Amino acid sequence: MKKVTFIFSVSFTLLSSFVLAQDIHFSQYYLSPLSLNPANTGNYKGDYRFFGNYRSQWRDIDKAYNTFSAGGDANFYPMNQQVSGGLIFINDRSGGNLVVTKIMPSLAIHKKLAGFQCHLGLQPGLVIKTIDFYAHSFPEQLNWNTGKFDNSLPNSETNVNQRFNYFDMNIGFGINRRFGKWEPEVGLAFFHLNKPKESFIGNDKRLPIRQIYNAGLTYYLHPVFNIKAYTMCGYTTKASDWVSGINGEYIFSKNAFFTNSVFAGVMWRDGLKRNSDAAITTIGLNYTNYTIGFSYDITLSQLNTAVDRKGAFEVALIYKGKNTRLSKKAIPCERY
């Protein structure tokens, strides 16, 4: 029975995350730019940006899933070339006991080629995973006097660590261009490019490369209204996560620096094998420097019998500094 109960507990804790494409995920992935694609570092109009995301999933289940992220990025222009630097911090608690902490710096370069805005990003960082032994029971911890498990007793487990860390590497690409009223964008990212070793028991289990594909299409229907359709697919070996949706945005005012608007939409999450997971509603506001978004997942999978179709609540907040760099230049001259 060595390690059996422990491995089962860890595997069960990881199961839901694995089914949803292994890594942490946000329904409002477009409001978590650096966790979606390193190429999004600095990919906005502004000098700097701060952002934060919080997700609480399946609160009706004991020891729910909670994910928090925060970070920022900024743009620089050495030799008149746009380069960007950023940092994202992620803390994910699965089942109450498994905690994943990520500290990921990001670097990106942006270049205009043949009218297309092209982006390339790199994201090296540190990942720390911990699990609380005292929150689990092992076969050797059965107290025969009381007939109950007592996790204060020795568990007799050897060669099992409660904490390990590893270096991780992500890379991403992105491209976008506006054609009249249409503006498409596509992105591609590879996570765990170095296939780091990940194990509490010291074996050679390695993370496979995770692929993320995302695309969006904005249609500027009217000066005060636009529609955006978007999709994101994450794939790791046999696990997949596919989120698609559509947002409508109403613009009630704008100036040289900011667009003030409200937006709302619906989304759908399932896998590539069409295993429906959740329907998602979204709503948000852009006002001066701030963007705030809310979403709620309605569980559609077989787990809905345990959670009464309740799913996950998310809130996202972005603060963006205005762009002080001139985007257009005009040289006055006399006409004859």
The residue among 292, 284, 288 whose CA lies nearest residue 254 is: 288
- Average pLDDT on 30-43 reads 95
Spatial separation of the C-alpha atoms in residues 195 and 193, rounded to whole Å: 6
Please tell me the predicted confidence (pLDDT) of residue 255. 87
Please tell me the predicted confidence (pLDDT) of residue 9. 42
Is residue 161 domain-resident?
Answer: yes
Q: Residue 274 is part of which domain span? A: 4-320
Q: Tokens for 287? A: 């006002």
- CB-based burial, 161-193: b 16+ in 10 Å, e otherwise: eeebebebbbbbbbbbeeeeeebebebbbbbbb
* pLDDT greater than 70 at residue 316: yes
Please tell me the predicted confidence (pLDDT) of residue 311. 73
**45-104 tens-digit pLDDT:** 999 999 999 998 766 555 568 899 999 999 999 999 999 999 999 999 876 578 899 999
Contact 105, 85 (CB under 8 A): yes
Is residue 104 domain-resident?
Answer: yes
Is residue 265 domain-resident?
Answer: yes
Residues in Cβ contact with 50 at an 8 Å cutoff, skipping those fewer than 6 apart: 70, 71, 72, 318, 319
Spatial separation of the C-alpha atoms in residues 324 and 48, rounded to whole Å: 10
DSSP 316: E
Number of domains in the chain: 1
Please tell me the predicted confidence (pLDDT) of residue 17. 38
Spatial separation of the C-alpha atoms in residues 8 and 13, rounded to whole Å: 8
DSSP string covering 163-231, please?
Answer: EEEEEEEEEEEEEE--BTTEEEEEEEEEESTT--B--SS----BPPPEEEEEEEEEEEEETTEEEEEEE
Is residue 170 domain-resident?
Answer: yes
**226-257 tens-digit pLDDT:** 999 999 998 887 777 889 999 999 999 998 88
- Average pLDDT on 280-291 reads 95
DSSP string covering 223-234, please?
Answer: TTEEEEEEEEEE
- Average pLDDT on 181-199 reads 93
- Average pLDDT on 293-321 reads 79
Please tell me the predicted confidence (pLDDT) of residue 272. 66
Please tell me the predicted confidence (pLDDT) of residue 239. 76
Is residue 329 domain-resident?
Answer: no
Is residue 241 domain-resident?
Answer: yes
The CATH number of residue 299's host domain is: 2.40.160.40
